[in-house]
Structure 1
Amino acid sequence: MREKKLSIVIPLYNEEENVNELYNRLKEVLDALPYDYEIIFVDDGSTDRTVEKLEEIAKKDSKVKVVEFARNFGQTPAMMAGMDIASGDVIITMDGDLQNDPVDIPRLLEKIDEGYDVVSGWRKNRKDATVSRKIPSKIANWLIGKLTGVRIHDYGCSLKAYRSNVIKRIRLYGEMHRFIPAVVSTVTSPDKIIEIPVRHHPRKYGKSKYGISRTFKVIVDLFYVWFVKKYMQKPIHFFGGIGLFLLFVGLTFFLYLLSVKLLGNPIGGRPLLVISVMCIIAGLQMLTTGIISEILMRIYYESQQKKPYVIRRVLNGEEN
């Protein structure tokens, strides 16, 4: 494996009972690997003694970095902060509640060594409540795979490994951490994303921070991910397609009513006239929205000097 350094990113929120055991388990696994590493704990505004325990660990271990948020921002910002700070060639994310097992890390690295850009954990024997966690998760995973085209069994598993030069190309907002494989597929081939079964343990201490209400957030966020993946660089195709369809329907109805009017029949009180006018107006609005979206997309790329493509490598030349 050519990667020389690993970065382990762990968001935490009120996990004081789990911190020390998690650190000890990680050290046992990471010290046995032939790579340099760093452990990045991101405290997401904990109200218990999580930060105090992290400070104690950091004082005795220089490989541990602690990021403390000013308040609770959520798991996605915490994960993003850890990734921004990470200096490793491979970034591994995991939960801080001891449900993910550090002993699976070498198996993730084996797949990275095989050439994959993303290795996602699959909690095949998940130790969570069936009604509130497993069933909603299965529905969400099916929807995400169907709409994004990146079909994996367990989007919600935090235990994942990424090549740093791939994951650092994307930005995460809101609660997008659960969609990372789908978002990453916008900068790498889906063939470079693989899933492997990993261990999953019941929670020993503390309470889960998520409930069934998270499923509805997943569904809402999913439509955003689908749009970004499919139409980020060509929004006019989405809005323009709908606009042209509405214009076609509206003009067809209007021409039909015009022919009826020319034959001497009144059309002023017919609902079809209202429908045709609304379709024409809505169609023009969608086309206008598409044009504005295209302009904003170009501003987005050009203002940040981003390119609408990603080069994996260049043979006999220099990569831009």
Structure 2
Amino acid sequence: MTTAFPSTPDVSIVVPIYNEVENLPDLVERIAHAMSAQPLSFELLAVDDGSRDGSADKLRELAATRPWLRPVFLARNYGQSSALQAGFDRVRGRYVVTLDADLQNEPDDIPLLLARLETDPGVDMVSGWRKDRQDAELSRKLPSRIANRIISRTTGVYLHDYGCALKAYRRPIIDRIRLYGELHRFIPSLAKDVGARITEVPVRHHARTRGVSNYGIDRTFRVILDLILIVFFMRYRQRPLHAFGGLGLWLAAPGGLILTWLLVQKLLGESIGGRPLLLAGVMLVLMGVQMIAAGLIGELLMRVYHEAGGAAQFHAQEYVPANRPERAEPGVLVAQDAIDKVA
């Protein structure tokens, strides 16, 4: 299928790929078919994450006759988060769509997500919900359900399906977030942290018919560790003293009470030198002081970071009424990413 390639497409579709050579021809054709059914122009950023099965060669072959297909090749296998970020760094559309390459996501559902963004200005991100999952393995379904509930409760972003790769975003949201490690699982939480308004729509899901799944039960433990990072990032990134200092006070306070009580006992003439409680009190106070010191160091680092022109501390939109003479396009919010300088 050959189409005119727009210089600035409306939609950028980002697909991370790792050893999916058998699925690529069908994937590309189905995405093209889905996008031809709606009026928005598009580009497909297929990011090969160091595949070893010939996926890179297949992408080159497919791109030769499809000007809207833009293959991106990573030097080695860096992981899904890095592959997505490599695609996000190159998007040009005002909407960004992500999905997996294993064809378990349904490309024909992409227009459904885009239509929601087009018709609802109060939504910045549409997340797919695999309401009727076709995974055969209970080892994938059960941990996924548990993880969705835990992540929703701890981050405050209530979704049925964090693991669904099929999502659509307004471009400013993608421009504000950075992925590293394995944070791709928590994109809704990161999006909320930069001000995104999120909704969820049911999408279709298919069982894998070709290729081998790259997921295992071991990722459950990695999710728990990443969740701790996300909660800290969302709540205490700009105030680390509240995290470390709060924990330090909880440790130092009982330690101080223990030592005070032992001091009274000592003044009354009792021997306290061999009592385990003395060691416990000293350890609690020392750990508390160390945690508070860590919080202060974190605050100093944040101050240096923002004064040096680091990432924006907040994102805002300025509304200019239609009757203003400086208004170029009436009735549109003007996005402004601002850095709050520390005095």
TM-score range, shorter chain: over 0.9
**Which residue of the partner structure matches residue 178 of structure 2?**
171
How many angstroms apart in 1 are the aligned matches of 2:312 and 2:293?
25
Q: Relative contact order (C-alpha < 8 Å, sep 6+): which is higher?
A: 1
Q: 2:268 maps to what in 1?
A: 263
Q: Distance in 1 between matches of 2:166 and 2:202?
A: 10
Residue in 1 that maps onto 2:331 = none
**In structure 2, which of residues 89, 95, 101 is the aligned counterpart of residue 84 of structure 1?**
89
Q: CA deviation at 1:313?
A: 3.3
Code of the aligned partner of 1:149: G
The alignment status of 1:238 with 2:243, answered yes or no, reads: yes
Q: Contact (CA 8 Å) 2:24, 2:55: kept in 1 or not?
A: yes
Q: Secondary structure at the match of 1:71?
A: coil
CA distance in 2, matches of 1:85, 1:24: 22
Structure 2 segments unaligned to the other structure (5+ residues): 1-7, 327-333, 339-343
Matched residue of 2:205: which SS? coil
- The RMSD of aligned alpha carbons is 1.5
Offset at residue 218 of structure 1 (A): 0.7
**Cα distance, 1:213 vs. partner?**
1.1
1:9 corresponds to which residue?
A: 14
Q: Which residue of 96, 101, 110 corresponds with 2:101?
A: 96
CA distance in 1, matches of 2:35, 2:182: 29
Which of 115, 120, 125 does residue 118 from structure 1 map onto?
Answer: 125
Deviation of 1:123 (Å): 0.6
Task: Output aligned runs, 1:105-254, within 5 Å.
Answer: 105-113=110-118, 114-115=120-121, 116-189=123-196, 192-254=197-259
**TM-score normalized with structure 2 length:** 0.89
Unaligned runs of 5+ residues in structure 1 are: none
- Give, as a single letter, the amino acid of the residue that structure 2 aligns with 1:157: C
Aligned residues: 316
Matching residue within 31, 49, 56 for 2:54 = 49
- By how many angstroms is 1:4 displaced? 6.3
Match of 2:73 among 68, 71, 79: 68
Which among 316, 319, 341 is matched to residue 314 of structure 1? 319
TM-score between the two structures when normalised by the length of structure 1: 0.95
Percentage of identical aligned residues? 48
Give 4+ residue runs of structure 1 displaced > 6 Å after superposition: none
Structure 1 position 56, deviation (Å): 1.1
Q: How far apart are the structure 1 equivalents of 2:150 and 2:82?
A: 24
C-alpha displacement at 1:244, in angstroms? 1.5
CA contact (8 A) 2:96 2:171 kept: yes
- Cα distance between partner residues in 2 of 1:206 and 1:139: 26
Aligned counterparts of 1:185 and 1:314: Cα–Cα separation in 2: 21
